[in-house]
């Protein structure tokens, strides 16, 4: 496979037609294979170990999202982005598992929830938990902006390791330090969600506080844990904070759609994944190329950074994806379509 244009590795332009995409993917593979055997002494060491693999993946993703990237080249890169990303994630999971001790705080004490003006309170997870479609594997916004940074990738991996641990033991046998740390993270997320809702109210927009489960990756791959988490968010917030999940994972069928708002994502009216949506879930659509569907609760028009696709077809549309610069957040768009219990 030959690509004509250039990407930048170590600030030097690499001509794809000299080395080709297969070469760069096998470079990531080699580096990740070696890195998976390395025990890390701290976070910086982890990032240094994956620096080159992360840099190649980052460059590929950036090239795919570049406005100057021709469609044919973009399609070739997008076909390999999911593989490139998950090679890094799976290798990190293997290597960190060799010795969790230096990462105890990062896995159990802090960072499970992310906080951002754009997304609010969210959970980041590795893409290796996804069952991607042909379109979302490379088209996912996890390959955009800051989500493609090594530090963001590592954050998803730490969350995966936390859940893997909690799933492997009876919750009541978990040492109280780990359990209490995790509960205090839930309480902090609840407080933040409430403060966001208060800020929206100050600006004249009244809505319920909320926490988005799985902002990147699929928490739904672990439905028992996800149900447990949403139940505890409800209990610990006295029913004042909602849990929301976006998913297209087959295990979504095991989610408790009474204890959380489930937005099940399809890619067309005929998407066979519909069968995985639990009773009570809302169907939403990834509208690739901007093509919207009438039969869903909301269409998310494909957009990457400042690149928006014009809508074709008909149906309810997420205003953030129509004009991201005008309305970059749900609150700025005065929209709660995804977070309503009834539509």
List residues near ligand SF4 by CB under 6 A: 298, 318-320, 330, 333, 335-339
Nearer to ligand SF4, 92 or 261 (CB): 261
Nearer to ligand SF4, 54 or 290 (CB): 290
Cβ-in-10-Å burial (0-12, 13-18, 19+) of 194 comes to middle
Nearer to ligand SF4, 53 or 335 (CB): 335
- Residue 273 CA to residue 284 CA, distance in Å, equals 12
- Residue 263 CA to residue 284 CA, distance in Å, equals 6
- Residue 48 CA to residue 211 CA, distance in Å, equals 32
Nearer to ligand SF4, 7 or 320 (CB): 320
- Residue 154's H or E segment, with its range, is helix 150-168
At residue 309, φ and ψ (nearest 5 deg) are -95, 140
Kindly state the smallest distance separating residue 281's Cβ from ligand SF4, in Å: 15
The helices-and-strands tally (H runs, E runs) of the chain is 10, 13
Kindly state the smallest distance separating residue 299's Cβ from ligand SF4, in Å: 9
Kindly state the smallest distance separating residue 339's Cβ from ligand SF4, in Å: 6
Kindly state the smallest distance separating residue 261's Cβ from ligand SF4, in Å: 11
Q: Which residues pair with 116 in a beta bridge?
A: 120
Give the number of other Cβ atoms within 10 Å of residue 200's Cβ.
19
Kindly state the smallest distance separating residue 310's Cβ from ligand SF4, in Å: 17
Contact 199, 233 (CB under 8 A): no
Kindly state the smallest distance separating residue 331's Cβ from ligand SF4, in Å: 8
Kindly state the smallest distance separating residue 121's Cβ from ligand SF4, in Å: 14
Query: Long-range contacts: 114-121, Cβ < 8 Å, 24+?
Result: 114/155, 114/215, 115/192, 117/329, 118/328, 118/329, 119/212, 119/215, 120/193, 120/196, 120/210, 120/211, 120/212, 120/330, 121/189, 121/192, 121/193, 121/196, 121/210, 121/211, 121/212
Nearer to ligand SF4, 78 or 302 (CB): 302
Kindly state the smallest distance separating residue 329's Cβ from ligand SF4, in Å: 7
Q: Considering all CA atoms of the chain, what is the largest pairwise distance in Å, rounded to the nearest integer?
A: 61
- Residue 36 CA to residue 40 CA, distance in Å, equals 10
- Residue 85 CA to residue 3 CA, distance in Å, equals 20
Nearer to ligand SF4, 221 or 318 (CB): 318
CA 39 remoteness from chain centre: 26
Nearer to ligand SF4, 87 or 261 (CB): 261
Kindly state the smallest distance separating residue 257's Cβ from ligand SF4, in Å: 17
Nearer to ligand SF4, 205 or 339 (CB): 339
Nearer to ligand SF4, 225 or 264 (CB): 264
């Amino acid at each position: 496979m030959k690509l004509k244009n250039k990407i930048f590795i170590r600030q030097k332009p690499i001509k794809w037609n000299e080395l080709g995409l297969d070469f760069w993917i096998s470079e990531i593979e080699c580096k990740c294979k070696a890195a998976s055997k390395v025990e890390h002494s701290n976070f910086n060491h982890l990032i240094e170990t994956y620096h080159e693999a992360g840099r190649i993946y980052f460059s590929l993703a950036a090239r795919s999202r570049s406005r100057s990237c021709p469609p044919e080249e973009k399609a070739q890169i997008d076909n390999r982005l999911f593989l490139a990303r998950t090679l890094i994630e799976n290798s990190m999971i293997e290597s960190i598992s060799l010795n969790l001790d230096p990462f105890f705080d990062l896995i159990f004490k802090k960072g499970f929830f992310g906080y951002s003006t754009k997304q609010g309170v969210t959970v980041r997870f590795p893409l290796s938990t996804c069952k991607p479609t042909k379109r979302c594997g490379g088209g996912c916004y996890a390959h955009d902006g800051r989500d493609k940074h090594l530090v963001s990738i590592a954050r998803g991996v730490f969350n995966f390791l936390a859940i893997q641990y909690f799933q492997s033991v009876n919750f009541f046998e978990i040492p109280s330090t780990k359990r209490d740390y995790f509960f205090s993270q839930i309480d902090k997320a609840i407080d933040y969600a409430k403060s966001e809702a208060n800020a929206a109210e100050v600006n004249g927009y009244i809505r319920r506080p909320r926490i988005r489960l799985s902002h990147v990756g699929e928490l739904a791959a672990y439905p028992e844990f996800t149900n447990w988490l949403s139940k505890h968010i409800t209990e610990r917030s006295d029913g004042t904070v909602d849990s929301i999940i976006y998913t297209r994972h087959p295990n979504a069928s095991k989610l408790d759609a009474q204890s959380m708002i489930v937005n099940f994502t399809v890619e067309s009216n005929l998407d066979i994944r519909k069968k995985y949506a639990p009773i009570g879930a809302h169907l939403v659509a990834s509208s690739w190329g901007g093509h919207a569907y009438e039969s869903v609760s909301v269409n998310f028009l494909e957009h990457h950074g400042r690149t928006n696709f014009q809508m074709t077809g008909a149906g309810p549309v997420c205003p953030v994806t129509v004009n991201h610069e005008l309305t970059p957040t749900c609150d700025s768009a005065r929209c709660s379509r995804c977070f309503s219990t009834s539509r």
